[in-house]
């Protein structure tokens, strides 16, 4: 039953992927003009004359004059073989350009997600079980502040404190000596020592909202009859809460993975700028501004894929923790 | 079926004594005593029934014994003495524990819960965790109190499930609660309670959510388990029929106090307290036709059919699914012919899942029908088939055919005032506005026996019975001709049930209405309905005059249904022979 469900969900993801890629491609080709128009404009600004014949030749070479569906077809068939095309601006294959950045983005998002869960879950449970206690009020107050503060502001404040009071530079994900160094254990350790600041910054608002979600979910479950049944069996209060209501309250909690994951990546753009993180966000913005179609397309497509994967993971987890979902 | 006096009573000793128990809830307006100075005694091998209507504190009282009252509720006074030396578990030396002295979260009370005193609850679906396997939940109860391996706990759980007559326990032990039927869930719940051979079983309305035929089986099961283990049972119920069936002793509760205590015969035959007398008379009144209705029928003839169903079918969930898989639908209503005549009360009776609610919704055309005709004759005598109409064309018929729902709490929008709720059908149909609307609402409220000041208030300020009156006012607002009352009295206490039914009869006389009353409760139908249709698995198996069907049922299913209804008379306990009905061979061939 479970296998059947997972298989069905995975199969469904395939047509979904194509639909999403079509939309992604439509989005990046939506602005008027193309890379060459922007290119010509930049050249003209610096005083260079642009040869129209050369532009037309380039346009033909890159296939920019083709109709939409043909352009899409060329692009998507390349993508399936792992070829995301060539970035106009960098004159390099897109996959080379974004590989490491995307990996860092995903690492950062995963770390943030784990941080968020690890903090939000126990705090949410505490907050619900000790409803209207001093602890609950403090958590609620801090939570609302966390929710209301934009990430980049937290980043600025933290950077200010770190520089002024501790004399440390907290921007970036690596120390200068490891910036361009090849991957090694030392570089990984360096990453680990730098990553926690952006993790905290990016995780604050998500943690705050998850605490609220967990608290509300658990409050709904705490007074259900099955809790009384378990209590009447003689189960201790701690075991009881962890085994029954928390298990059920996790249900909506798990479904947040689906949207939390892509949101962490795309929502981190401003913070990534502020902290000058070498992640995907800043490059995506630049690619969009320059109408660097293939580069931007690859980013958007990967973000969409992450959403699909996030949804898939959360659906499968849901089916694992709640047997009722496995049946239609 | 054994009678009460045949019950083996090896010892008649008191195992649990509740003395002057008070449980209070702290509220903003001060402390409210839900249980007020209650004293009861439980004897080994005997059943004490605590009877009372909703809000009488009977449930809180039973939970106080195990100290599992939800906060802010707290036991504030009294003693709960467990005489362990009188139970099978206790030794020869005297050992009495006062449960009221133990802290609700202490280990001391936890060792009593589930081991000495076990409890079963009303709603078997929500009282079992939906995401844990049945075997896991039973095994947990065993492993909590006894040091046994997982394997051994599982074997014992299988044994327990077999004891409560769950089919194929080796296989079904790994099912989840939602894969069990309501009756099976309650059996599993009982198995869980019996896991550690408790000396006392507290059953809080264990059969209220079940169909009568399943209720009869569960009651028989509890009785036979009690006989084999000499367990004391504290049975909480509001149903006098159930009390008459199983009680040895009775305590009647009202407003948190025990108003009367005694053995089953003296309470039923010579009730002393006026409340007990009233409770019994409202039960007895319900079990026969309303005199009011009989009188009304004599003065006003029943007219021509106004709502006729011909061969109505409703299939749910048939679809072409993913990868070409075909899902076979579920036939909720199967080839039903039914007619409602003008000025008549038609009862549709059946167990849960028999399709009676679906039929009601098809008749109103809230559901689409898969096939068949629904012929509605309007007040001008024109007949239309409602089945093929779309929402726009149904506007007129929907004004004429209205519904009163079961749940008086769920069917009123908590964020609308009563005035807004009743006004809605009038505003929707542009029947009134401004002052005229206000006057009409006041008139409707008056008609259902509520003051016009109710208009400004929100539903939460009203009791269950009053809310049902609001629902009725909403239903009759646009001057309808047919009202479909779907279990309209099931959520109400017995004494209020007759009031609401009388109100409906009153409205019928004044407004010239026809009713379809959908119910699982034969007594209610007998009181209110002229004709009855018995539904079983989507089909109508028998129709006829209510009294004829109730006295001389023809279909074997009707016989089995009637035989399962508990009679509120302890002298007739076990006198009615119970039939079990399973769909016969030939009917299988037809389907």
Asked if the structure places residue A55 within a domain, the reply is no
A233 contact residues in B (CB cutoff 8 A)? 113-114, 118, 140-141, 144, 192
Pick from A142, A115, A265: which is nearest to A215 by CA? A142
Range scoring the smallest mean pLDDT among B78-82, B197-201, B223-227: B223-227
Tokens coding B218: 């569960």
* pLDDT given for residue B47 in this prediction: 92
* pLDDT given for residue A134 in this prediction: 93
Smallest CA–CA distance, residue B31 to chain A, in Å, is 19
A232 contact residues in B (CB cutoff 8 A)? 66, 68, 113-114, 118-119
A132 contact residues in B (CB cutoff 8 A)? none
Asked if the structure places residue A74 within a domain, the reply is no
Check pLDDT > 90 for residue B48: yes
Name, of A286-290, A321-325, B23-27, B371-375, the range with top average pLDDT: B371-375
Cβ contact, residue pair B121, A225, below 8 Å: yes
For chain B, the domains span 122-197, 302-566
Count Cβ atoms below 10 Å from residue B170 Cβ, excluding itself.
12
Q: How many domains does chain A have?
A: 1
Asked if the structure places residue A2 within a domain, the reply is no
* pLDDT given for residue B580 in this prediction: 67
Cβ contact, residue pair A234, B144, below 8 Å: yes
In whole angstroms, what is the distance from residue A242 CA to residue B51 CA? 36
Query: Does any CB of chain B come closer than 8 Å to the CB of residue A6?
Result: no
Cβ contact, residue pair B126, A225, below 8 Å: yes
Tell me the CATH number at A132.
Answer: 1.10.3720
Q: Tell me the Cα Rg of chain A.
A: 24
Check pLDDT > 80 for residue A263: no
Per-residue pLDDT, averaged over A261-267, amounts to 70
Check pLDDT > 50 for residue B586: no
Cβ contact, residue pair B70, A233, below 8 Å: no
Pick from B259, B258, B257, B279: which is nearest to B268 by CA? B279
Per-residue pLDDT, averaged over A29-45, amounts to 73
pLDDT, tens digit, 9 for 90 and up, residues A143-171? 888 888 888 888 888 888 888 887 776 77
* pLDDT given for residue B541 in this prediction: 93
* pLDDT given for residue B322 in this prediction: 52
* pLDDT given for residue B325 in this prediction: 57
Per-residue pLDDT, averaged over B228-235, amounts to 90
Domain that holds residue A136: 105-281+306-313
Smallest CA–CA distance, residue B296 to chain A, in Å, is 45
pLDDT band at B533 (very low <50, low <70, confident <90, very high): very high
* pLDDT given for residue A45 in this prediction: 75
pLDDT, tens digit, 9 for 90 and up, residues A89-135? 777 888 888 888 888 888 888 888 889 889 999 999 999 999 889 99
Q: Of A12, A229, A247, which has the smallest distance from its Cβ to B131's Cβ?
A: A247
Which is more confident, B450 or A193? B450
pLDDT, tens digit, 9 for 90 and up, residues B342-361? 889 999 998 877 888 889 99
Which runs of E-coded beta strand occur in B99-231?
117-120, 200-204
Q: Of A8, A224, A228, which has the smallest distance from its Cβ to B68's Cβ?
A: A228
pLDDT band at B18 (very low <50, low <70, confident <90, very high): very high
Smallest CA–CA distance, residue B123 to chain A, in Å, is 8
Cβ contact, residue pair B113, A231, below 8 Å: yes
Smallest CA–CA distance, residue A125 to chain B, in Å, is 18
- ipTM entry: 0.75
Check pLDDT > 70 for residue B7: no
Asked if the structure places residue A321 within a domain, the reply is no
- Whether domain B302-566 has CATH 3.40.50.300: the reply is yes
């Amino acid at each position: 039953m479970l296998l059947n469900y997972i298989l069905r969900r995975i199969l469904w993801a395939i047509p979904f992927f194509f639909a999403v890629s079509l939309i992604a491609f439509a989005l990046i080709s939506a602005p008027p003009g193309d890379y060459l128009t922007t290119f010509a404009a930049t050249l003209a600004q610096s005083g260079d004359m642009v040869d129209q014949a050369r532009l037309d030749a380039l346009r033909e070479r890159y296939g920019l004059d083709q109709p939409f569906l043909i352009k899409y077809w060329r692009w998507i068939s390349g993508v399936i073989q792992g070829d995301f095309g060539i970035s106009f601006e960098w004159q390099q294959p897109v996959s080379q350009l974004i590989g490491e950045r995307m990996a860092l983005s995903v690492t950062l998002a995963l770390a943030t997600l784990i941080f968020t869960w690890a903090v939000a879950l126990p705090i949410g449970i505490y907050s619900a079980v000790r409803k209207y206690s001093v602890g609950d009020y403090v958590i609620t107050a801090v939570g609302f502040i966390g929710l209301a503060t934009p990430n980049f502001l937290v980043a600025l404040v933290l950077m200010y404190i770190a520089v002024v009071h501790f004399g440390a530079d907290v921007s970036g994900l690596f120390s200068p000596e490891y910036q361009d160094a090849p991957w090694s254990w030392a570089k990984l350790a360096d990453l680990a020592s730098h990553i926690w600041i952006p993790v905290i910054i990016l995780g604050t608002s998500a943690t705050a909202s998850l605490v609220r979600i967990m608290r509300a979910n658990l409050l709904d479950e705490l007074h259900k009859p099955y809790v009384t049944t378990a209590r009447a069996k003689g189960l201790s209060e701690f075991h009881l809460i962890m085994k029954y209501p928390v298990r059920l309250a996790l249900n909506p909690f798990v479904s947040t993975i689906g949207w939390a994951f892509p949101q962490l990546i795309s929502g981190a753009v401003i913070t990534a700028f502020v902290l000058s993180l070498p992640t995907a966000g800043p490059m995506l913005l630049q690619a969009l501004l320059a109408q660097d179609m293939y580069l931007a397309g690859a980013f958007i497509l990967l973000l969409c894929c992450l959403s699909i994967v996030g949804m898939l993971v959360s659906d499968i987890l849901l089916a694992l923790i709640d047997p009722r979902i496995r049946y239609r | 079926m054994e009678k009460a006096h045949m019950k083996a009573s090896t010892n008649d000793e008191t195992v649990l004594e509740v003395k002057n128990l008070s449980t209070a809830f702290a509220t903003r307006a001060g402390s409210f005593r839900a249980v007020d100075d209650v004293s009861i005694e439980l004897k080994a091998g005997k059943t004490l029934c605590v009877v009372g209507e909703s809000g009488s504190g009977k449930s809180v009282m039973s939970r106080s014994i195990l100290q599992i009252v939800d906060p802010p509720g707290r036991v504030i006074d009294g003693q709960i003495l467990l005489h362990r030396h009188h139970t099978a578990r206790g030794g020869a030396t005297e050992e009495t524990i006062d449960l009221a002295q133990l802290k609700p979260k202490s280990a001391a009370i936890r060792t009593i819960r589930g081991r000495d005193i076990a409890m079963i609850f009303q709603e078997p679906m929500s009282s079992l965790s939906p995401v844990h396997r049945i075997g896991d939940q039973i095994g947990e109860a065993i492993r909590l109190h006894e040091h046994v391996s997982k394997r051994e706990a599982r074997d014992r759980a299988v044994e327990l499930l077999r004891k409560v007559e769950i089919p194929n326990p080796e296989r079904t032990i790994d099912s989840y609660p939602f894969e069990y039927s309501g009756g099976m869930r309650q059996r599993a719940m009982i198995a869980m309670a019996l896991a550690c051979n408790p000396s006392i079983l507290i059953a809080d309305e264990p059969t209220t959510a079940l169909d009568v035929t399943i209720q009869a089986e569960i009651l028989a099961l509890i009785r036979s388990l009690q006989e084999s283990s000499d367990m004391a049972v504290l049975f909480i119920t509001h149903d006098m029929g159930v009390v008459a069936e199983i009680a040895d002793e009775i305590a009647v509760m009202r407003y948190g106090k025990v108003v009367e205590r005694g053995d089953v015969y003296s309470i039923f035959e010579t009730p002393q307290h006026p409340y007990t007398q009233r409770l019994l008379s409202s039960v007895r009144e319900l079990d026969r036709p309303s005199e009011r209705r009989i009188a009304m029928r004599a003065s006003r003839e029943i007219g021509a059919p106004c709502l006729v169903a011909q061969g109505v079918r409703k299939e749910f969930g048939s679809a072409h699914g993913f990868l070409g898989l075909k899902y076979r639908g579920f036939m909720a209503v199967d080839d039903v012919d039914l007619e409602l005549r003008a000025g008549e009360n038609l009862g549709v009776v059946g167990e849960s899942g028999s399709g009676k609610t679906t039929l009601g919704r098809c008749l109103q055309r809230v559901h689409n029908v898969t096939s068949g005709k629904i012929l509605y004759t309007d007040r001008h005598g024109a007949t239309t088939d409602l089945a093929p109409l779309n929402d726009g064309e149904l506007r007129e018929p929907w004004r004429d055919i209205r519904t009163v729902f079961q749940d008086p709490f769920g069917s009123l929008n908590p964020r609308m005032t009563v005035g807004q709720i009743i006004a809605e059908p009038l505003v929707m149909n542009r029947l009134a506005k401004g002052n005229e609307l206000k006057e009409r609402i006041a008139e409707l409220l008056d008609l259902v026996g509520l003051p016009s000041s109710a208009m400004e208030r929100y539903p939460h300020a009203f009791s269950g019975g009053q809310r049902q009156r609001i629902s009725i006012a909403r239903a009759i607002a646009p001057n309808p001709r047919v009202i479909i009352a779907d279990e309209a009295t099931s959520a109400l206490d017995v004494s209020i049930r007759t009031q609401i039914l009388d109100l409906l009869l009153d409205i019928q006389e004044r407004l010239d209405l026809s009713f379809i009353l959908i119910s699982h409760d034969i007594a209610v139908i007998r009181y209110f309905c002229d004709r009855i249709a018995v539904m079983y698995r989507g089909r109508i198996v028998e129709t006829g005059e209510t009294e004829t069907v109730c006295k001389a049922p023809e279909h074997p299913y009707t016989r089995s249904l009637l035989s399962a209804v508990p009679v509120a008379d302890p002298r007739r306990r076990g006198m009615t022979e119970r039939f079990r009905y399973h769909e016969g061979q030939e009917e299988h061939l037809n389907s």
